[in-house]
Every structure is written in C-alpha cells, then in structure tokens.
C-alpha cells in the first residue's frame, strides 16, 4: 500500500473510495504527493443518482432566500479555512503563496457572496398584455432549476473557477456533480466537505475525480441523468463535450482557449503598459486562458517596450511556492511542461529571435525535478507562424511591430480565438474605438484581468459558447418558465 495521502470522491455527503486510482505529483518538485481516486462508470452513476435524489429532497423545497443565506454562510466557513485552502491549492499546483493567499482563494470565496447578491437583486420579470374588451393577460417569468449540473473543472485556477460555477448553480436550486481536474483534486474535495459542514443537504454537491475522455469526465458528460454541462478548458475538449451534450440535447456553457493580443500604442503610459503586460503574460506561469501571447507594439516605442519587458521577465523569481518572495511557479505537469518546451523549440526552428528565456529553468534542490519553464519572449516571426497562432498556455509571448491602427486591428483579429484583448493607449477615444473593433469577448483598456462578477464573460469564435457572470450565469443555471394568467375586464 502507498503511504501517500489518499484523495477520495465525495458522494451523497460522504467520502467514497474508488476501486482504482492514480498518483498525483507536486509540480514544484516532480515528486508523488497523493494518490487520487479514479471514478469509474459505476461511481459516476452513483454520483448522478445522489444528485437526482437530492433534487427531490429538502434542497428541492428550499426558497431563493434560504439558498442565498446558505451561500453567505458557506463563504464565512470557507474564510475560516482560508489557510488550509491555500495550502491544498499550492500542493496541487505549485502556485506562489502570495498570489494564492491574497487574490485567488479570497476571490474564490467572494464568488459565493457575489452570486448571493446577484440573485438577491435579480428582478422578477412581469409583462401585462392588453386584450380585446379591456381584458389583459399577465405574464410572469419564473426561474426554476435546470436539474443536475455536470461541472468539468479546470486545473489552472482550481477553486476560483470552480466556485464561479458552483455558486450560481446552487443559488438557482440545482444539484451538482463536479469532475475535478486530475491535476487539482484537493480544493474541490475540500469545498464539498466544508459545504456539508455548513449544512448543505447530502447529494447536492458531489465530487468525482479522474481523467477525461474514456474515463470519469467522459462518463459524466455522456450521462443521461445530467441536465446541463459547464466546462472551462481546452477547445478540443470543449468540442468533445458539445458532441456528448447533443444527446438529449442538453445546454452547454463552454469557456475555451485563447490566443490573446495586447495592442500597445505609442502614446501609452509606457511603465504601466510594461507592468500590466508583464502580469498578463506571466501570471500563473502563463497558465490562464486570459494571458497575453501576442503583443503588437507601435514602432515608435518598440525598443523601449521590449527592453522593459525583458527586464521584467528576468526579474521574476521562481522558487519555493511557499516562500513570500517567489513570483513564478512551475507548469502544472510534466506533459504540460514538455508541450510548452516543444513549442519553444518550434519557435527557434522557425527563426524567432529569442529576447529572453526559451527553454527549461535550472532549479536548485528540492526543485530540480519540478516542471519549471523559463519566461520567454520572442520577436521576428510572421503572424502565421505556429507560435503566433497556437495557444501555448505557458509563460511566453511574441512581440511584433505595427505602424497603423487599421493594420494592427486586422492582425489582432486574424485568429481563430477571441477570448480577451488589451489596449494600451493614452488617447481615450482611440482606445474605445479600437476596443470596439476587436473580436474578443473582453477587452481591457489600460488594465488587465479586472473583472466585475456582474459583467458577462466568455469568448468569440473558438473561444467558447455562452457567457458567465451576473444574470447570465443565473440564466444558464435556470429553466425560465412563463406563467400567463388571463384577467377579464373589470
């Protein structure tokens, strides 16, 4: 028997082991850190059955006000366990402790309070329709739960993006089966445990672990007892989920890949643009769907901007994820590291000029076998080069010169993706004009990754289907029913 910690599934309010399992590795060291339950088709079927039973139980009889109160209570309980949530997230991902403690876990917890408030403020829709003779019909729009929601969770921001889905799904009265990423199962399990401690009825929130196609993820999205599916992750996986959801058919919400551009104009605040673009390239080792991988810089400032970015990249501090001075973590897995390094090698083979980085990082013990990748900047390649088209999901970007506003907009839009973009300019009118023409679901002007929970989030083109955030999330997790009552003339 392995002496590694065991991470079970969570079904019907209790922890459940699986017949099979797999080793999970610490990304920072490369060493085995846990053994994780691998849910088979039978366990997935049990999870869905418990979720369906919970719909008919006490949860199905709750009022919106009661569910709002529960979300706020759950946020309080999670806040009490913040240090443990941070520790578990770092164990899975190798994220630096400062960003995890100050930003990601607090924002994950804040999602419950935000969606409690969004649901509280959502206006009930009523319409009066005049009819002949002075009669009228009164139309009232009701929200009812979709049913069992299957959540296929990502590994890059595990708890933050999971609660972004769980919170609105719960407040709308649904029950849930989460398939955690095989790379980040710990905080999904902790969320289910703490929710149960906070009084969530058995079976409302179930968590299974395992892999994707042909395994737990595939079993979940194909299960006929699942009424809606939401997924954040890679585009090809999203396509497979959409095919599975066609059997039913069932609604899907897909937040997929990106190859996000930044447009840096000559009149920008150069220091702010360098600092903001540094964050947007290297945050979470580049493993965020919103990161910038294409940077278009006006010729007049290209040299100074590139020099500043190189200096910023070289000032990042990889190291012990639990040390406050660390600012760069590892790739999530050996597979992801090797994919990124393969694309790095392809850029060099295509003739890219490497401004900094370009390979693996040499790390001291105990991190020598971890999945460390150098922050990397290139220039000199055409827009159709592989590194300028394909999402890397690593700490890197290609820098290009532009001369003309129309030119750079066309180049930025020449991508199969359309998730996010950033415009850096001191001319407010131009920034708004350019932002309006970019084919992206979100465009930041002189900032990056600023998100209000009430605003819609999602992508154009191959970057996804649907929107999350605010009432758009409530719409996805609700069946909208119209009650139309005839009232005769008085």
What's the pLDDT score for residue 427? 98
Class of domain 260-452: alpha beta
Angle at 101 (CA atoms; ends 96, 103), nearest 5 degrees: 95
% of the chain beyond a pLDDT of 70:
100
Angle at 468 (CA atoms; ends 430, 261), nearest 5 degrees: 35
What's the pLDDT score for residue 38? 98
- 365, exposed or middle or buried, with CB in 10 Å at 0-12, 13-18, 19+? exposed
Q: What is the mean pLDDT of residues 97-113?
A: 98
pLDDT tens for 415-467 read 999 999 999 999 999 999 999 999 999 999 999 999 899 999 999 999 999 99
What's the pLDDT score for residue 490? 85
What's the pLDDT score for residue 130? 94
Query: What phi and psi, each to the nearest 5 degrees, are found at residue 419?
Result: -90, -55
How far is the C-alpha of 183 from the C-alpha of 24, rounded, in Å?
7
Query: What phi and psi, each to the nearest 5 degrees, are found at residue 466?
Result: 90, 175
What's the pLDDT score for residue 123? 85
Do the Cβ atoms of 420 and 439 come closer than 8 Å?
Answer: no
How far is the C-alpha of 485 from the C-alpha of 328, rounded, in Å?
60
Pairing of strands 205-208, 376-379: unpaired
217-222, long-range: CB within 8 Å, 24+ apart, which pairs? 217/152, 217/179, 218/244, 219/39, 219/40, 219/41, 219/44, 219/45, 220/44, 220/47, 220/48, 220/150, 220/152, 220/177, 220/179, 221/150, 221/152, 221/245, 222/247
How far is the C-alpha of 303 from the C-alpha of 310, rounded, in Å?
11
Q: What is the mean pLDDT of residues 237-242?
A: 96
How far is the C-alpha of 44 from the C-alpha of 219, rounded, in Å?
7
Pairing of strands 292-298, 396-402: parallel
For 65-74, b where at least 16 C-beta lie within 10 A, e where not — what string?
eebbebbebb
Do the Cβ atoms of 464 and 256 come closer than 8 Å?
Answer: yes
Do the Cβ atoms of 279 and 448 come closer than 8 Å?
Answer: yes
Helix, strand, coil share (%) of the chain residues, nearest 5? 40, 25, 35
Do the Cβ atoms of 261 and 412 come closer than 8 Å?
Answer: yes
> Residue 22 pairs with which residues in a beta bridge?
36
* Boundaries of every domain in the chain: 6-256+463-482, 260-452
Mean pLDDT, all residues of the chain: 97
Helix (H, G, I), strand (E, B) or coil at 93: helix
What's the pLDDT score for residue 124? 86
% of the chain beyond a pLDDT of 90:
98
Q: What is the mean pLDDT of residues 330-355?
A: 98
Of 478, 375, 469, give the one whose Cα is nearest residue 118. 469
Residue 1 has pLDDT above 80, yes or no: no
Confidence of residue 131 (pLDDT cuts 50, 70, 90): very high
Active site residues: 255, 289
pLDDT tens for 175-203 read 999 999 999 999 999 999 999 999 999 99
What's the pLDDT score for residue 68? 98
Architecture of domain 6-256+463-482: 3-Layer(aba) Sandwich (3.40)
pLDDT tens for 305-334 read 999 999 999 999 999 999 999 999 999 999
Confidence of residue 214 (pLDDT cuts 50, 70, 90): very high
């Amino acid at each position: 028997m392995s002496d590694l910690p065991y991470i079970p599934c969570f079904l019907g309010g209790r922890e459940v082991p699986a017949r099979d399992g797999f080793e999970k590795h610490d990304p920072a060291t490369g060493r085995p850190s846990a053994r994780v339950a691998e849910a088979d088709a039978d366990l997935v079927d049990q999870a869905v059955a418990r979720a369906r039973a919970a719909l008919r139980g006490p949860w199905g009889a709750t009022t919106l006000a009661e569910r709002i109160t529960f979300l706020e209570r759950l946020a309080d309980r999670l806040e009490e366990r913040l240090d443990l949530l941070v520790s578990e997230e770092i164990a899975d991902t190798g994220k630096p402790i400062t960003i995890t403690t100050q930003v990601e876990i607090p924002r994950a917890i804040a999602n419950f309070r935000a969606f409690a408030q969004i649901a509280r403020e959502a206006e009930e829709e009523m319409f009066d329709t005049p009819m002949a003779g002075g009669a009228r019909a009164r139309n009232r729009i009701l929200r009812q739960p979709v049913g069992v929601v299957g959540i296929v969770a990502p590994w890059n921001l595990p708890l933050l993006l999971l609660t972004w889905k769980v919170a609105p799904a719960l407040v709308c009265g649904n029950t849930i089966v989460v398939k955690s990423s095989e790379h980040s199962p710990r905080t999904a399990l902790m969320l289910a445990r703490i929710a149960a401690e906070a009084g969530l009825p058995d079976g409302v929130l179930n968590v299974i672990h395992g892999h994707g196609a042909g395994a737990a993820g595939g079993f979940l999205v194909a299960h006929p007892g699942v009424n809606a599916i939401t997924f954040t992750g890679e585009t090809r996986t999203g396509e497979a989920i959409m095919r599975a959801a066609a059997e039913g058919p069932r609604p899907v919400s897909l937040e997929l890949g990106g190859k996000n551009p930044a447009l840096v104009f000559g009149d920008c605040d150069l220091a702010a643009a360098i600092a903001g673009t540094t964050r947007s390239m290297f945050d979470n080792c580049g493993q965020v769907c919103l990161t910038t991988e294409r940077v278009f810089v006006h010729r007049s400032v290209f040299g100074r901007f590139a020099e500043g970015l190189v200096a910023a990249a070289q000032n990042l501090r990889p190291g012990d994820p639990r040390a406050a001075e660390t600012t760069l973590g590892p790739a999530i897995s050996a597979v992801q590291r090797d994919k990124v390094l393969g694309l790095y090698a392809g850029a060099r083979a295509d003739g890219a000029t490497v401004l900094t980085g370009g390979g693996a990082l040499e790390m001291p013990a105990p991190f020598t076998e971890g999945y460390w990748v150098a922050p990397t900047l290139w220039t000199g390649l055409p827009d159709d080069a592989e590194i300028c088209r394909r999402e890397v999901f690593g700490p890197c970007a290609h820098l290009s010169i532009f001369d003309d506003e129309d030119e750079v907009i066309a180049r930025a839009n020449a991508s199969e993706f359309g998730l996010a973009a950033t415009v850096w300019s001191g001319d407010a009118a131009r920034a708004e004009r350019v932002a309006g023409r970019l084919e992206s679901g979100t465009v930041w002007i002189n900032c990056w990754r600023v998100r209000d929970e009430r605003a819609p989030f999602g992508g154009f083109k191959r970057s996804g289907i649907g929107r999350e955030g605010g009432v758009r999330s409530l719409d996805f997790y609700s069946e909208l029913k119209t009650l139309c009552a005839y009232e005769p003339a008085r």
